[in-house]
């Protein structure tokens, strides 16, 4: 008797060729086949009397066959089978192309369910290539709501329907991993009922109940995994740091600007975290230019005054160096010592109160004693191993992670469900909206005309190319070639070149020269995508813009508009298409990074949006990434279960399903 664990080639109807195709699509066992979900459903349950069918509609009739005959057409020698279908209301012609076996397999004078397109032929209306199933048996392809599956090669929907019907009896072997209290609370059907109804629903209500149950399962299992990690990996005792209100007021009063309400709220949430006797684990999300760094700086000052150190780890030397020079004047006022440690540069040492660095911070030779707070900039560029290595430098330090990539709340609840979330929604008050235009390649001179207008006022410009060297395969401009073109276009301007293959000293010198105004234009790759702060830069020209996602384009745009100066951004594709034009127009019209992120999520999925491969743990087949209410409901259920049993010892089947190893590997 077939079991869910049996290999796919043991299923009736699966030969060697079909087994190979199924395996290429991730279907190894009968259970995998059960979880090969339909992409949509078609309701063919309505039976039309022949007299009522209309031209160009898809109709299902129940009728008796007669006059079956087959022949080859004069042209193209095509095999044709013809017949007549009759019911109490009338008759209709039938025609099949290149299916000669139907002449012998179909039985005249027998009643069939027939589903096909109604077209007008020489002898009136006809059903073209209809599916035909004997009416005395339960139909598979007609006369009901039928599933439509993702198809590839010779793996068709009809084949999949037959195979899945063959393995459906095995679903009663599957343990229902969802706890009884969750099933009863949400009035869900049992697992085997839901799976059967998903593939072969008896009606719309049963189908919807199955979708509700199985989409909840996807969301719930993800939320359970992240809450499991939060309870078992991110909840350790830590040194509480009492909030010093007088100190915070004095620090804020000494800043050359006023924090926005959004910044103040985020700071308050972080300071409250630091007061607790367990490790803070918070992600601070803020759109480009929203002022995350200063929030972290104020928190780090409080940590330093409490006698503990802060380590800030940035993904690039450019960003780490910028953080150092941005924070130093503020920290000097408070007599807080600061150090910079990268692979190629060291300023100060690890005895400093605050140490900023790259991956160099996690080297064995770097000792960080009395570490109270760890800040990881651009969370998604670091994994669990780096985090754990940095944690070993201190005894359960508090953790704050930053990201400038706006993440829709639905996605944040999923990817960062194990973290508390703070969001800086607004930018500093003196910032003007960045004027953004999507240009065709033929209109690119308009962008450089704006650059020409800005340079005489001592403003600066970025010009971005997605590649370092020219590729014959890809039409995008290379940075090196673009550097020569821009230099020729602006012969009196000082133009610099920055990309990842330059040595660290050259990169540091180039960025310093641009920041201090010694360069007028910087031609660069996305090495400047995150965090680079040049208040005097007012123009961003993005060549090969079709090569970037909306979120990345928004990150690049965020390199300008970082002062009270009016700034401009131009997106120029090297290849045009309707899809590219539509996407770049959306970018030009939408300045809100979170809205753009939602659009990117819908267009490209979470993996592309956040720069992560879509591992199995975030690949949904039924659940909707943008359904905030459903995600919140699943998170609430997961939190409740973890509170009862944080190691899930009473739910072994559930624990197997959440696949913690994959979750950890994903973050590495």
Confidence band (pLDDT; 50, 70, 90) for 473?
very low
Phi, psi of 484 (to 5 degrees): -65, -40
What is the pLDDT of the chain when averaged over all its residues? 86
Confidence band (pLDDT; 50, 70, 90) for 664?
low
Residue 505 has pLDDT above 90, yes or no: no
Nearest to 94 by CA among 109, 110, 75, 81: 81
Residue 644 has pLDDT above 80, yes or no: yes
Give the lowest-confidence range in 386-400, 476-490, 588-602, 612-626: 612-626
The whole-number average pLDDT for the span 474-483 is: 71
For the segment 320-342, what is each residue's pLDDT rounded down to a tens digit?
A: 888 898 899 999 999 999 999 98
For the segment 360-416, what is each residue's pLDDT rounded down to a tens digit?
A: 887 767 778 888 999 988 755 555 566 566 666 666 789 898 887 777 766 776 666
Q: Does domain 1-39+147-174 have CATH number 1.10.150?
A: yes
Alpha helices in 98-144 (DSSP H): 102-105
Q: Where are the domains of the chain?
A: 1-39+147-174, 46-143, 245-275+291-403, 435-590
Tell me if domain 245-275+291-403 and domain 435-590 are identical in fold: yes
For the domain made up of 435-590, the CATH class stated in words is alpha beta
C-beta separation of 497 from 288 below 8 A: no
The whole-number average pLDDT for the span 238-261 is: 91
Nearest to 153 by CA among 318, 28, 25: 25
| pLDDT > 70: percent of the chain | 89
**H or E element: which one contains 464?**
strand 460-464
d(CA 458, CA 518) in angstroms, rounded, equals 10
Please state the three-class secondary structure of 37-77 as a single string.
CCCEEEECCCCCCHHHCCCCCEEEEEEEEEEEEEEECCCCC
**CB-neighbour burial class of residue 307 (10 A; exposed 0-12, middle 13-18, buried 19+):** exposed
Q: Strand 124-134 vs strand 145-148: parallel, antiparallel, or unpaired?
A: unpaired
- pTM for this prediction: 0.69
Nearest to 221 by CA among 187, 197, 191: 191
Confidence band (pLDDT; 50, 70, 90) for 358?
confident
**CB-neighbour burial class of residue 226 (10 A; exposed 0-12, middle 13-18, buried 19+):** buried
d(CA 396, CA 667) in angstroms, rounded, equals 19
State the fold for domain 46-143: OB fold (Dihydrolipoamide Acetyltransferase, E2P) (2.40.50)
Residue 188 has pLDDT above 70, yes or no: yes
d(CA 473, CA 268) in angstroms, rounded, equals 51
d(CA 273, CA 423) in angstroms, rounded, equals 15
Q: What Rg do the C-alpha atoms of the chain give, in angstroms?
A: 31
Nearest to 490 by CA among 469, 510, 463, 528: 463
**269: which residues sit within 8 A by CB, 6+ positions away?**
282, 420, 422
d(CA 28, CA 26) in angstroms, rounded, equals 6
CB atoms within 10 A of CB 24: 11
State the fold for domain 245-275+291-403: Rossmann fold (3.40.50)
Give the lowest-confidence range in 96-105, 240-249, 298-307, 467-476: 467-476
pLDDT attached to residue 667: 47
Confidence band (pLDDT; 50, 70, 90) for 629?
confident
Residue 119 has pLDDT above 80, yes or no: yes
Residue 195 has pLDDT above 70, yes or no: yes
Place of tokens 């012998």: 104
**Which carries the bigger pLDDT value, residue 644 or residue 473?**
644
């Amino acid at each position: 008797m077939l079991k869910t664990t049996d290999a796919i080639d043991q299923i009736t109807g699966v030969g060697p060729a079909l087994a190979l195709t199924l395996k290429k699509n991730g279907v190894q066992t009968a259970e995998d086949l059960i979880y090969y979900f339909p992409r949509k459903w078609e309701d063919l349950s309505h039976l039309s009397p022949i007299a009522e069918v209309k031209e160009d509609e898809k109709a299902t009739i129940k009728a008796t066959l007669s006059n079956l005959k087959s022949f080859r057409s004069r042209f193209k020698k095509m095999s044709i089978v013809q017949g007549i279908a009759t019911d109490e209301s009338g008759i209709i012609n039938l025609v099949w192309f290149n299916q000669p076996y139907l002449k012998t397999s179909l039985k005249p004078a027998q009643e069939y369910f027939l589903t096909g397109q109604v077209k007008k032929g020489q002898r009136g209306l006809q059903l073209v290539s209809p599916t035909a199933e004997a009416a005395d048996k339960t139909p598979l392809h007609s006369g009901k709501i039928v599933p439509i599956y993702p198809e590839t090669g010779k793996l068709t929907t009809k084949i999949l329907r037959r195979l899945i019907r063959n393995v459906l009896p095995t679903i009663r072997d599957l343990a229902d991993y969802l706890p009884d209290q969750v099933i009863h609370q949400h009035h869900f059907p049992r697992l085997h009922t839901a799976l059967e109804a998903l593939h072969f629903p008896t009606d719309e209500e049963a189908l919807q109940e199955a979708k509700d149950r199985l989409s909840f399962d996807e969301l719930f299992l993800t939320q359970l995994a992240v809450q499991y990690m939060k309870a078992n990996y991110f909840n350790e005792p830590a040194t509480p740091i009492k909030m010093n209100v007088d100190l915070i007021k004095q620090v804020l009063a000494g800043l050359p600007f006023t924090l926005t309400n959004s910044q103040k709220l985020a700071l308050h949430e972080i300071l409250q975290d630091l007061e607790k006797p367990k490790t803070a684990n918070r992600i601070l999300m803020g759109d480009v230019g929203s002022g995350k760094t200063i929030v972290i700086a104020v928190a780090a000052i409080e940590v330093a005054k409490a006698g503990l150190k802060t380590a800030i780890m940035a993904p690039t030397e450019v960003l780490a160096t910028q953080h150092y020079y941005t924070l130093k004047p503020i920290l000097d006022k408070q007599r807080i010592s600061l150090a910079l440690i990268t692979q190629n540069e060291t300023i100060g040492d690890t005895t400093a109160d605050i140490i900023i660095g790259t991956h160099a911070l996690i080297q064995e030779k770097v000792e960080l004693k009395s570490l109270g707070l760890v800040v990881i900039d651009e969370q998604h560029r670091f994994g669990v191993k780096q985090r754990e290595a940095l944690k070993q430098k201190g005894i359960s330090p508090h953790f704050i992670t930053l990201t400038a990539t706006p993440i829709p709340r639905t996605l944040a609840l999923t990817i960062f469900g194990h973290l508390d979330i703070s969001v800086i929604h607004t930018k500093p008050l003196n910032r003007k909206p960045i004027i953004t235009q999507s240009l065709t390649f033929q209109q690119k001179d308009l962008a450089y005309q704006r650059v020409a207008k800005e340079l005489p006022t001592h403003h600066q410009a970025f010009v971005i190319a997605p590649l370092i060297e020219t590729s014959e395969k890809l039409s995008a401009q290379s940075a090196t070639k673009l550097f020569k073109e821009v230099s020729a276009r602006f012969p009196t301007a000082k133009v610099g070149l920055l990309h990842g293959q330059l040595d660290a000293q050259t990169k540091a010198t180039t960025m310093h020269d641009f920041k201090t105004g010694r360069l007028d234009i910087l031609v660069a790759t996305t090495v400047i995508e995150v965090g680079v702060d040049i208040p005097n830069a007012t123009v961003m020209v993005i060549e090969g813009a079709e090569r970037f996602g909306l979120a990345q384009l928004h990150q690049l745009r965020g390199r300008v508009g970082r002062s009270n100066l009016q700034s401009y951004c131009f997106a120029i594709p090297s290849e045009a298409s309707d899809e590219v034009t539509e996407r770049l127009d959306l970018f030009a019209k939408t300045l809100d990074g979170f809205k753009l992120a939602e659009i990117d999520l819908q267009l490209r999925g979470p993996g592309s949006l956040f720069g992560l491969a879509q591992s199995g743990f975030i690949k949904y087949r039924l659940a909707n990434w943008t359904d905030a209410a459903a995600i919140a409901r699943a998170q609430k259920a997961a939190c409740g279960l973890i509170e009862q049993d944080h190691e899930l010892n009473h739910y072994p089947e559930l624990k197997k399903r959440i696949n913690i190893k994959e979750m950890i590997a994903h973050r590495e």
